[in-house]
Amino acid sequence: MSFSFVCNICSAENRGLRLKDLDREAGRCEGCGSLVRLRSLIHLLSLHLFVEALAIGQWPENHEILGYGISDWPKFSKYLGPKITYTNTQFDLDVAAAATVLDITKPPRAWFKTADFVICTEVLEHVVPPAQAAFDGLLALLKPGGRLIFSVPYRFKPTIEHFPDLHEWSIQTDEAGSRTVINTARNGDVQTFDNIRFHGGGKQVLEMRVFGLADLKASLRAAGFVNIQIAGLLYKPFGIRFAHNWSLPMAARRPLRARASR
C-alpha cells in the first residue's frame, strides 16, 4: 500500500513509495532526492530550533540562527540558506575548492561558541584517531545550549578502532586495484592492513572505526555533551521510517553552564 508524505527538506509531496520501502539510506524524495537519514536530521533540527515538527519551508526566516555543516549534503545549503545562516564546511579542499575548510578535530578559536547547531552526518567514523578530538571540536563550536545533530553507523557492542596506532600512514593500491593501509606507529612499528573499508560516492573515505552506542555516548559525555537523544524510528508525515533500531540519527546539547569540575 502506498502512502504519501511531505518532504521536510524541499516540501515536495511524495506518493510513489510504500512505507516498507523506506529505510535509513532509502526512501529518496522525488523532489530533492533526500534519503530518510537526511530528513530525520532536519526533523531533529526543527524540533530543537522551533520545538515543532516543521518542514524547512514552514520555518520562520531568522538569520540570527547560525549553524555549520561538517561535509554536509550540498543541498542543505539550498534549502536552509533562505531561512537561517548556514555554512557547510569541508575537511578536504579536493572535494570543493570553493568550500569553507574546517578540520573538526582542530576548529579555529574564532569559531568557538558561535553555532546554535552543527550537523555532522556520516563523518565521525572517518576521523583520524583519536576520535575524541572530533567530539571535543564539535562541542567547542557550539554556543552554550547549542545542539549537535549527527549520525554515525553504530552497533550495540564495543567500538572497534581499525587503526588505533595510526600515525604516519598512506593508502597503497596494487596493480589489481586492492588497497592497503601502511602505517608507521609512533613507536616505529610498521603495520599493514588489508581488508579495509571505504564509504562514500565521489571521493571514497576510509572507515576508521565502527562505533558502539555505549562508547559513542561516553565520547559525547567526555566532550561535555548532555541530553543525548536518539531519533525516532517513525515519523510518517515526513517520510521518516527506519527498518532497524541501530545507527539512528542522534542529537546532543552543549550545557548552558560549564560543569563545575571542568
Binding stretches for Zn ion (CB under 5 A)? 7, 9-10, 12, 29, 31-32, 34
CB of 10 vs Zn ion, minimal distance in Å = 3
How far is residue 177 CA from its own chain's centroid?
Answer: 29
Q: Could you give the C-alpha distances from 182 to 150, 160, 165, in angstroms and in order? A: 30, 19, 11
3-class secondary structure, 182: strand
Compare residues 41 and 166 and give the one whose CB is closer to Zn ion: 41
CB of 18 vs Zn ion, minimal distance in Å = 17
Cα dihedral angle (157, 162, 165, 170), rounded to 10 degrees?
Answer: -160
Compare residues 13 and 189 and give the one whose CB is closer to Zn ion: 13
Whether the bond into 130 is cis, omega within 30 of 0: yes
Compare residues 67 and 239 and give the one whose CB is closer to Zn ion: 239
Contact 119, 174 (CB under 8 A): no
CB of 39 vs Zn ion, minimal distance in Å = 8
CB of 12 vs Zn ion, minimal distance in Å = 5
Q: Could you give the C-alpha distances from 235 to 8, 18, 67, 90, 108, in angstroms and in order? A: 11, 14, 24, 30, 37
Compare residues 73 and 150 and give the one whose CB is closer to Zn ion: 73
CB of 11 vs Zn ion, minimal distance in Å = 7
Compare residues 22 and 131 and give the one whose CB is closer to Zn ion: 22
